[in-house]
Structure 1
Amino acid sequence: MTIQENRERPERSGGEQSAAEPSPPDAGGSPAIAVEGLRKQFGSGPEAVTAVEDVSFSVERGSVVGLLGPNGAGKTTTIKSILGMVLSDEGSVRIHGIDVYDEPRRAYAHVDAMLEGARNDYWRLTVRENLRYFSTIGGVDPDSIADRHERLLDKLDLADAADQPVRSLSRGMKQKVSLASVLASEADVVFLDEPTLGLDVESSLTLRRELRRIVAERNLTVVVSSHDMDVIEDICDRVVIMNEGRVIADDSVENLLHGFDARGYRVTSADLDETVVADLRDRFEVTEIERSGDRTRVEVATDSDGFYALTAFLRSRDVTLDAVETVDWDLEDVFVELTRREER
């Protein structure tokens, strides 16, 4: 794998292989990505900073895994270590069972990446020329997958700009070109760093649909790093959460969401006058109040035990409830809670 540093050239992972480069072997059912005991320290002596410490996880073939963490958690160092852009001090990385440090060209033969903050495309080439170029350096005749290119141009709303140089496009359009260039290749392991950055809501939804389709169609393995929790929750099978250089959670999205009691409760009643609401505020953590006609809806942050205290209080005030709803955790709530616990 060659990472191109020249400002006149895009920074991309994978790609500089020739058409004769061997495909990754089946490797007896090994994971698409296996990271074991990764450690990286920058600097030395008292100024040394440990960016990642004993990071281990695997990604099965055909799955989409989200890599989450606050700024400085070690996500970028982990991704760059997997891609060979940073040499780890300890640990191993295998792609399709191939050690990336021992056999980098074989390991990275079918890996591609879109890195946030990098020049992922040639700005002097047109959109279509970029797709063809990156297919070619990946060892694929672009004419043989022209239909794939045209579909991506259409689905990502790039068709009208296909013959324009990338440098003339808006930031959001450039982002979509980077995505199209990666998804248009024959790579079967893809890293997407902040893929929806700069995209409007409609474009983000389109990307998610297209990514799900491609994953299913090509058995694509994807690692996504993003601050957009809606994207992660929507497209990922599993989430790896990092904090202060370590993995603090590694589980399916479903298990993470179901691993917590209800985050709170919403109660609706015509009897929730200002006096009752004021008393509620004194006794409970009221997070939201909404009035509609003669009805008032109050959201209270509490667990299942606190819910019984809440209903007992409301009964003591002769409040008749019209509706009770649980406020469940979303992935952002889980992420915040887990990182907060780790910091205590």
Structure 2
Amino acid sequence: MTSRQGTAGVSARPETASDGEEVRDGDAPAAIAVEGLTKRFGSGDDAVTAVDDVSVRIEPGSVVGLLGPNGAGKTTTIKSILGMVVPDAGRVRIQGIDVAEDPRQAYAHVDAMLEGARNDYWRLTVRENLRYFATIGGVAPDSVADRHDRLLDQFDLAEKADVPVRNLSRGMKQKVSLASVLASDADVVFLDEPTLGLDVESSLTLRRELRRIVEERGLTAVISSHDMDVIEAVCDRVIIMNDGRIVADDTVANLRQGFETSAFRLTSPDLDADTLAAVRDRFDVTDVTSRDGTTTVEVATDSDGFYELAALLRERSVTLTSVATVEPDLEDVFVELTGEGKTGRTGGGSR
């Protein structure tokens, strides 16, 4: 594993045979297999269990999102897998190799970009960073020069290839960090907040190119991000952690389908202050916006509640110009499972 500072196929627990050995589909090892991972900090009454008996299997070629509020155990889980934190219990295997028994061979498959860390050498140019990290990853940089050129193009870094990283903007540095992770032959990558500091256009480019690179090279990627749009756009599956445990593990589509529509968005020029007050008295109003004499109100309720709402509006002679159901998104699922407020962020704190 390069030392940096700074879905198909995921199940909550791996299947095991009677002798305790993991069952593998077609004898192919999981890219990442974690069994019973536990980590506590402190001792006695002050002890905190950051990761509590976590087990997960990630198949090769999967792109898995890891979500959770502050203190959920995401960072500790990632660092335990990477060998940066020594767990109190559990077993970790990378491409079938036990990291405790043969860490050098296991981590030869791995690279990572971690939030809040300096993931590149700022005195080196962009291209020199790619060559450096390929070299310490065991790859002759000249043999992957074409790959580096493609990465520079894919992340809009070609014009900055010979500029020292310290002279780049925060967003450009973030793209250099990601390109450096992808510069070697690592086939398992961990990306912590990969879009941090990027503008909207750069974030969209990263999503598109990251998915393309993963598919082209058959990489396995674990992405931890507060950006739900990135997770929905890039990941095959999502693992949600809370209080040190996995509370959900499924595809984005399946997670969303598990939540029935529970909100309606109504628009009308007749939604005055008195009517909105009456609606608020009887219903859970989640959003109100007004524009050009028209007001849109979003109400969290079920189908029976909608009919009651419609009757109330009819009594007040409100003519609706549009009615739409509000489909749950990944953030709604996250809020429901973790109890965190819907803010657009899962939180950047670590544990």
Fold equivalence (TM over 0.5): yes
Structure with greater contact order relative to length (CA < 8 Å, sep ≥ 6):
2
Partner residue, 1:107: 106
CA contact (8 A) 1:261 1:304 kept: no
Q: Which runs of 4+ in 1 moved over 6 A?
A: none
Deviations 1:77-113 (A, max 9, x none): 1001101111111111111121111111221121110
Matches within 5 A, 1:211-290: 211-290=210-289
Deviations 1:258-300 (A, max 9, x none): 1112231012345544443332122112233344556543221
CA contact (8 A) 1:27 1:97 kept: no
Q: 1:231 offset after TM fit, Å?
A: 1.0
Partner residue, 1:49: 48
**1:255 corresponds to which letter in structure 2?**
N
TM-score normalised by the chain length of structure 1 = 0.87
Cα RMSD (Å)? 2.1
Matches within 5 A, 1:11-160: 11=5, 28-160=27-159
CA contact (8 A) 1:156 1:206 kept: yes
More displaced, 287-296 or 210-219? 287-296
Q: Does the residue aligned with 1:113 lie in a helix, a strand or coil?
A: strand
Q: Give the number of equivalent residue pairs.
A: 322
Partner residue, 2:333: 334
More displaced, 74-83 or 163-172? 163-172
Gaps of 5+ in 1: 4-9, 13-25
Q: Does the residue aligned with 1:210 lie in a helix, a strand or coil?
A: helix
Gaps of 5+ in 2: 7-24, 341-351
**1:257 corresponds to which letter in structure 2?**
R
Q: Does the residue aligned with 2:254 lie in a helix, a strand or coil?
A: helix
Alignment partners' CA distance in 2, 1:67 and 1:114: 14
Distance change (3 Å), C-alpha of 1:291 and 1:92: same
CA contact (8 A) 2:266 2:324 kept: yes
CA contact (8 A) 2:2 2:137 kept: no
Deviations 1:23-48 (A, max 9, x none): xxx99222211111110011212222
Alignment partners' CA distance in 2, 1:198 and 1:174: 9
CA contact (8 A) 2:67 2:74 kept: yes
* Percent of residue pairs bearing the same amino acid type: 73
Alignment partners' CA distance in 1, 2:286 and 2:244: 33
Q: 1:170 offset after TM fit, Å?
A: 2.4
Partner residue, 1:15: none
**2:324 corresponds to which letter in structure 1?**
E
CA contact (8 A) 1:74 1:245 kept: yes
Deviations 1:32-75 (A, max 9, x none): 11111110011212222211101111212111111111111111
Q: 1:317 offset after TM fit, Å?
A: 3.9
Partner residue, 1:201: 200
TM-score normalised by the chain length of structure 2 = 0.86
Distance change (3 Å), C-alpha of 1:297 and 1:106: same
More displaced, 308-317 or 172-181? 308-317
